[in-house]
């Protein structure tokens, strides 16, 4: 049946974001690689439905499920602030296929210095494309993105080579975990760098109804960035820990000794399977609209909030991805 009153609020996700299950369902849709197969015609059609519906137009024959399908497809390809179509490899739906290829090869080719440098560089280059495509309007400058790319790549390569030199006498099993340490270090460097303006100026605060309070908080910014760093590292943990354990056992089998070329494709497929679940499940750990008690904010911000006619006890902010 067609949508009647009341109208659907498509400014919010379809599923309850106050529950982990609702957030997980949302990110399973957001990171669905099948969205990459949508043609330009399908994307433009989805955009037309979303824009017309937001403008209050009645669309004959449009069901609620049709509306949400269009909204999810629209969100998968168009920037939420600028409404511009993002490059294919910069979309969230590219995360699983791209990371399975890069991470799988990063794990498979971890023994030589040139391979370590190349695949860590590839990983950070892809991250920079995603960060650039999803930057929030003017909040993140091109200079910040470039700096995060350079520092993240340097940190990842430097960490990988340093740890490789430390564990070279500890056996092949330990050496397999070098890429994980490098990726974790890079996340701790490039995310704070990319969002350095928020650390210096603060992140925008909202009330429960998403109304802008016209205030920013550095304390909230540190919490938001910390949550993003944790979720990124947790995404990488099963992806970069489980395959080395599996491959360490498979390498002892006769098949792998006879066909060592199977190492890379097996790791890529294994990483892809794990990523399909780890990416949405770890992205959902923290609410996108996160909260913080006013009592935990810095004194000057707390004082301004307490001076409001109806001072809130809790403030909200967009933690980012």
The answer on 239 and 167 residing in a single domain is yes
- Helix 263-283 × helix 20-30 angle, to 10°: 130
Question: pLDDT per residue over 160-205, tens digit each?
Answer: 788 778 767 666 677 777 788 788 887 787 778 777 778 888 888 8
Q: What is the mean pLDDT of residues 296-319?
A: 87
- pLDDT exceeding 70 applies to what percent of the chain? 93
Question: Is residue 150 domain-shared with residue 240, that is, in the same domain?
Answer: yes
Q: Is residue 96 part of a domain?
A: yes
**Residue 171 domain-assigned (yes or no):** yes
Q: Are residues 130 and 258 in the same domain?
A: yes
Shared-domain flag, residues 129 and 239: yes
Residues 48-62 pLDDT 10s: 999 999 888 888 888
Place of tokens 């609410």: 287
Neighbours of 270 (CB within 10 A): 20
Whether residue 216 sits in one domain with residue 67: no
Asked if residue 6 is part of any domain, the answer here is no
Q: What is the pLDDT of residue 45?
A: 93
Q: Sign (positive/negative) of CA torsion 99, 103, 108, 111?
A: positive
Residues 184 and 233 in one domain: yes
Q: Are residues 61 and 140 in the same domain?
A: no
Q: How many structural domains are present in the chain?
A: 2
**Helix (H, G, I), strand (E, B), or coil: what is residue 146?**
helix
- Domain of 101 in residue numbering reads as 92-318
Strands (E), the chain: 203-206, 212-217, 289-293, 314-318
Residue 137 lies in a domain: yes
Q: State residue 283's pLDDT score.
A: 87
Q: State the pLDDT at residue 134.
A: 66
CA pseudo-torsion sign 75, 78, 82, 87: positive
Classify residue 260: in a domain, yes or no: yes
CA distance 269 to 315: 43
Same domain, 121 and 59: no
Distances from the Cα of 81 to the Cαs of 75, 86, 137, in angstroms? Answer: 11, 12, 6
- Rounded to 5 degrees, φ, ψ at 144 are -65, -40
Q: Are residues 216 and 69 in the same domain?
A: no
Count the neighbouring beta carbons within 10 Å of the beta carbon of residue 81: 12
Residue 12 belongs to a domain = no
Tell me the CB-side half-sphere exposure of residue 279, using CA atoms within 13 A. Answer: 23
pLDDT > 90 in the chain, percent: 15
Is residue 257 pLDDT above 90, yes or no? no
DSSP code string of 158-219: HHHHHHHHHHTTS-HHHHTTHHHHHHHHHHHHHHHHHTHHHHHH-EEEE-TT--EEEEEEHH
242 in a domain, yes or no?
A: yes
* pLDDT given at position 28: 92
Q: What is the CA radius of gyration of the chain?
A: 22
Sign of CA pseudo-dihedral 45, 47, 50, 52: negative
Does residue 150 share a domain with residue 56?
A: no
| 66 shares a domain with 24 | yes
Q: Which residue has the tokens 């913080």?
A: 292
Q: Give a yes or no: residue 154 inside a domain.
A: yes
pLDDT above 50 (res 1): no
Instruction: Give pLDDT tens digits for 37-47.
Output: 999 999 999 99
139 and 69 within one domain: no
**How do beta strands 314-318 and 289-293 pair?**
antiparallel
């Amino acid at each position: 049946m067609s949508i009647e009153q009341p109208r659907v609020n498509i400014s919010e996700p379809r599923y309850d974001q106050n529950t982990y299950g609702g957030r997980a369902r949302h990110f399973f849709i957001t990171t669905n690689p099948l969205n990459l197969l949508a043609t330009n015609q399908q994307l433009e059609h989805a955009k037309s439905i979303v824009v017309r519906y937001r403008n209050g137009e009645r669309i004959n024959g449009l069901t609620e499920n049709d509306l949400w399908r269009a909204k999810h497809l629209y969100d998968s390809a168009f920037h939420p602030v600028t409404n511009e179509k993002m490059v294919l490899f910069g979309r969230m739906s590219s995360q699983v296929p791209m990371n399975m290829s890069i991470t799988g090869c990063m794990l498979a080719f971890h023994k030589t210095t040139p391979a370590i440098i190349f695949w860590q560089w590839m990983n950070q280059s892809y991250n920079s494309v995603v960060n650039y495509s999803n930057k929030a309007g003017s909040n993140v400058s091109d200079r910040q993105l470039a700096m995060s790319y350079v520092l993240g790549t340097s940190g990842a390569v430097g960490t990988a080579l340093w740890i490789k030199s430390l564990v070279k006498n500890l056996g092949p099993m330990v050496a397999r975990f070098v890429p994980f340490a490098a990726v974790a270090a890079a996340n701790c460097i490039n995310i704070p760098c990319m969002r350095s303006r928020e650390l210096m100026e603060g992140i925008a605060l909202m009330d429960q109804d998403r109304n802008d309070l016209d205030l920013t908080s550095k304390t909230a910014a540190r919490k938001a960035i910390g949550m993003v760093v944790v979720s990124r590292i947790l995404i990488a943990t099963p992806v970069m820990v489980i395959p080395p354990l599996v491959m360490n056992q498979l390498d002892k089998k006769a098949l792998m000794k006879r066909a060592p070329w199977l190492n890379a494709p097996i790791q890529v497929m294994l990483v892809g399977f794990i990523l399909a679940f780890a990416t949405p499940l770890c992205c959902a750990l923290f609410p996108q609209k996160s909260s913080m008690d006013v009592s935990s904010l810095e004194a000057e911000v707390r004082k301004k909030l307490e001076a409001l006619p109806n001072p809130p006890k809790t403030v909200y902010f967009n933690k980012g991805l």
